[in-house]
Amino acid sequence: MTVGLRLDEAVWGLLHRALELYRDDPRATGHLRHQLARLEQPLRVAVAGPWRAGKSTLLNALLGEEVAPVAGADGSGVFTWYEDGPQPRATAYSAGHPPQELAMAKSATGLRVDLVGWRTGELRDIVVRWPTRALRQVTLVDTPAVAGPGEQGRSPVMERVFRDADAVLYLTRDGRGSDLRALESGRESLVGQAAPVNAIMVLSRTDETGGGKIDALLTARQLARRQSRDPRVTATCVTAVACSGLIGLAGRVLSEADHAALARLAAVPRPELEVHLLSADRFLRGELPVDTQVRAGLLDRLGLFGVRLATTLVRTGCDTRAALSAELIRRSGLTELRESVNRFFVDRRETLKSRSALAAVEALLRADPSPGAAELLGAVERILAGAHEFRELRLLAALRDTRLGFDADVAAEARRLVGGDGVGLAARLGVEHDASAQRLWEVAADAQWRWRDRAEDPLLRLAQRRGAQVVVRSCEGMLAELAEGGR
Ligand SMILES: Nc1nc2c(ncn2[C@@H]2O[C@H](COP(=O)(O)OP(=O)(O)OP(=O)(O)O)[C@@H](O)[C@H]2O)c(=O)[nH]1
Ligand SMILES: [Mg+2]
């Protein structure tokens, strides 16, 4: 089986077997070649979710610039792809026309793509090339709302998200049933069932939590933590994170002038300022030592909650632009979200891309009743069951709630060894970053020895022993890597 065979090699082999099976079908071979090409491309991460969940704002926060048009400025139904490129450039793709370059300008409020002459519904994709380091390893995809308010059931947008992207940040303001159903639609396949490892739930617009009280961001973080242990969430998402895209973006683009204006506001006696910050109207009309226009700008970028938070932060010590910016980014949840994206998506990009290829082959085979297709479907299933990468990820999911019944410290060690705190050797072994190969070896060998005992312990439940076997195999992998490196 795939033990000893690497996942990427197994997937590459499968794609070639499928190409052989469909050699007389140009549509299928075209599709399969596209999947082969995708294996070499950056990871595709879609930002999806319901109407006005804050998708475009969060995408801008991740990019650190106001690139994506906010609040549905573009045609509905369009997927907008943000790729790394030498200079800003946008190309429109539609069903009935050849690709067309779009006029584009960066303005103070974001990117302006000229869509004059296009009818809604004609456009399918806009590909934006944008020079930024943030896009070296991932392509970000801004997507239209999953369903209008009140609608339910299968969503064509989510179907396309699961087909065209490798991973998804699913934004929801409250993690309601319809959001869970949208995520669960990704499980209606062998691949979706065996490897539900491509989604992060993001509680969005968290500055508005509980009516925007000053502890809103903290409350939202607690909610996200609780949600990430909910069985319906663990079944579809690798984690749940709370993030206010608005505050995160404001932190990233904060200027010296913004900081100076906020400092002037923070100097106003607190009870007095608080009265002005009760509503947008009061804030804009009141007597304050900052120009109305500047206030309007702050309000636009930070929101009322953000202005309240920022002035409090200035008052309690954030006395430089850099300090305030860093604190806003951290409190917004953007730092944690970026860490999660790195840990679960970017660091595991090869696994996620292999997963996408498996899903594409499965979809193709399912529509075909021939014996050759059934046989290949069996191969898909064997790769899913046997590939160590997917076993690690399934164990990680199982370790998130208490289903397995390991003691907390044992569960924490298992989680770390299978890459839950990062997939690098030092992170897995819980040692310093610059530990010597000798030390890594000793710690890995010791862990392997202890977990082998567990894997063979007749007093443990079968599921626990199986889990321990996965950990042992991870340790073996690390020792093999160290042995190779030492040669
Ligand atoms: N308070 C607050 N407002 C936000 C946040 N994120 C977005 N908004 C506001 O919500 C509105 C919609 O934001 P978008 O980023 O366009 O949301 P979207 O999900 O892309 O919207 P659609 O693409 O139209 O579905 C805008 O007015 C944003 O300023 C946030 O974190 N906090
Ligand atoms: Mg949008």
Where are the domains positioned within the chain?
Answer: 8-39+352-370, 43-244+334-346, 254-315, 388-486
**Ligand 1, atom 30, residue with closest C-alpha:** 205
Q: Does 216 score more than 90 pLDDT?
A: yes
pLDDT tens string 314-340: 999 999 999 999 999 999 999 999 999
pLDDT tens string 149-201: 445 557 889 999 999 999 999 999 988 888 988 898 888 889 998 888 899 99
Does 56 contact ligand 1 (Cβ within 6 A)?
Answer: yes
**Ligand 1, atom 32, residue with closest C-alpha:** 205
What's residue 299's pLDDT?
97
* Residues 64, 245 contacting (CB under 8 angstroms): no
| Residue 96 DSSP symbol | S
The CATH number assigned to the domain with range 43-244+334-346 reads 3.40.50
The number of the ligand 1 atom at minimal distance from the alpha carbon of 70 is 16
What's residue 487's pLDDT?
53
The number of the ligand 1 atom at minimal distance from the alpha carbon of 208 is 1
What's residue 3's pLDDT?
46
Q: Does 391 score more than 60 pLDDT?
A: yes
Burial class of residue 435 (count of CB atoms within 10 Å of its CB; 0-12, 13-18, 19+):
middle
Nearest ligand, CA 245: 1
The number of the ligand 1 atom at minimal distance from the alpha carbon of 212 is 1
Q: How far is the CA of 196 from the centre of ligand 1 (A)?
A: 27
Which of 52, 55, 63, 157 most suits a substitution to test ligand 1, by most atoms within 8 Å of the C-beta? 52
pLDDT tens string 426-456: 999 999 999 999 999 999 999 999 999 999 9
What's residue 369's pLDDT?
83
**Ligand 1, atom 17, residue with closest C-alpha:** 54
H helices present in 125-184, as ranges: 156-164, 177-184
* Residues 17, 376 contacting (CB under 8 angstroms): yes
Query: How far, in Å, CA of 394 to CA of 238, rounded?
Result: 10
Q: What is the pTM of this model?
A: 0.92
**Ligand 1, atom 6, residue with closest C-alpha:** 54
What's residue 317's pLDDT?
93
Q: State percent of the chain over pLDDT 90.
A: 72
Q: How far is the CA of 457 from the centre of ligand 2 (A)?
A: 53
Does 51 contact ligand 1 (Cβ within 6 A)?
Answer: yes
Tokens encoding 386: 């046997």
**Ligand 1, atom 24, residue with closest C-alpha:** 72
- Which of 100-114, 118-132, 358-372 is predicted most confidently? 358-372
**Helices and strands, number each (H, E), in the chain:** 22, 11
What's residue 149's pLDDT?
46
Distance (Å) of CA 77 to CA 51, 73, 323, 340, 459: 12, 12, 40, 28, 55
Does 148 contact ligand 1 (Cβ within 6 A)?
Answer: no
What's residue 231's pLDDT?
86
Which of 47, 51, 56, 244 most suits a substitution to test ligand 1, by most atoms within 8 Å of the C-beta? 56
The pLDDT confidence band at residue 72, using thresholds 50, 70 and 90, is low
What's residue 248's pLDDT?
98
Q: State the average pLDDT over residues 286-305.
A: 96
What's residue 67's pLDDT?
81
What's residue 389's pLDDT?
93
Q: Does 212 score more than 90 pLDDT?
A: no
Residue 278 makes CB contacts below 8 A (sequence gap 6+) with none
pLDDT tens string 248-293: 999 999 999 999 999 999 999 999 999 999 999 999 999 999 999 9
Q: Does 352 score more than 80 pLDDT?
A: yes
**Residue-averaged pLDDT of the chain:** 91
Does 303 contact ligand 1 (Cβ within 6 A)?
Answer: yes
Q: How far is the CA of 82 from the centre of ligand 2 (A)?
A: 13
Integer-rounded Cα Rg, in Å, for the chain is 25
Q: Does 31 score more than 70 pLDDT?
A: yes
Nearest ligand, CA 57: 1
pLDDT tens string 110-138: 666 776 667 667 788 999 998 888 899 99
